[in-house]
Structure 1
Amino acid sequence: MGSRRKARILAFQAIYSWEFHKPLLAELLQFDWLEEERKAKLDTETWLFARLLVQGTIENCDTIDHRIQNRLEHWDFSRLSKVDLAILRLSTYELLFQQDVPASVAIDEAVDLAKDFGGDDSYRFINGVLDSIRKEREPS
């Protein structure tokens, strides 16, 4: 597993946790919930990218949530599962603010996270919402 994939998993877990506890960003970026043995195995690139994703997502959460809300058809934002919401926030951050990450990569990574952590149809739902945001960002 590549370091960026590991970073996205860490970022997803942190953003998911943030939804419940709303710790200070500095506390969240410490990843204190992670076992020391697992922390020791992660390289610097993984840590830096995970922190960038978490910080960027949290700092831009209002903008990100607005974009997600605008793309939900026949679905209320408050009814989103917390797992799906964390994946959507993380991936929307990448789509909107990480210009060095191709949109297809951000969406593919989100779909993989949804398959690993979400419900049975989460990946389809997340793919549809993110593809809509991508199209808004990159008009044809």
Structure 2
Amino acid sequence: MARRKSRILAFQALYAWDSGTKDEKTLLDFSWASEAQLERIGEDGKTFARLIIGGTLEAIDRIDAVISRHLVNWEIGRLNKVDLAVLRMSVYSLLFQKDIHPSIVINEAVDISREYGSDDAFRFVNGVLASVKSTLETENRKL
């Protein structure tokens, strides 16, 4: 549950970044988050959220390219900012956090999308991430 709360914090930060309301330094110091939210996740949770936020922003071009390759009849620029923030942090995790099982990443993304996205957003997020996961598994088998 603590990691879920950290992922929600990371999602909120990436959404704010994409909306242009916060810069990276402000996002990573969490001055924008409520005291209650920060107390609930603790120091370990803040560290995990910072890893996702910083890692996602550092690899944003690669992450966006991966997302774009897995969109069917859609363009990344037309995506809802909520969906895009969830996809970005999840693709970061699928690409770089090999210690976290892909099904956990996808399940968390679907749950966050259900809570914060539009009615059917979770289906869209699930489909894109399942496609990314499948491609990554195929690429790993070739290695």
Q: TM-score, normalised on structure 1? A: 0.94
Q: What SS does the corresponding residue of 1:100 show, helix, strand or coil?
A: coil
- Aligned Cα RMSD in Å? 1.3
Cα offset for 1:22? 6.3
Q: Give the % identical residues.
A: 45
1:53: which partner in 2? Answer: 52
Deviations 1:85-136 (A, max 9, x none): 0000010000001000100000000000110000111011000100110011
1:1-140 superposed matches below 5 A:
2-21=1-20, 23-139=22-138
Shift of 1:3: 1.1
Inter-CA distance 37–124: structure 2 relative to 1 (3 Å threshold): closer
| Structure whose residues are more often helix by fraction | 2
Mapped partners of 1:47, 1:132: distance in 2: 29
Classify the secondary structure of the residue corresponding to 1:48.
helix
Corresponding pairs, count: 139
Q: Which whole-Å deviations, capped at 9, do the CAs of 1:70-91 have from their partners, x for residues lacking one?
A: 0001112111000000000010
- How far, CA to CA, are the matches of 1:49 and 1:123 in structure 2? 23
Q: Is the 8 A contact 2:70 2:128 kept in 1?
A: yes
Helix, strand or coil for the counterpart of 1:72?
A: coil
Displacement of 1:12 in angstroms is 0.2
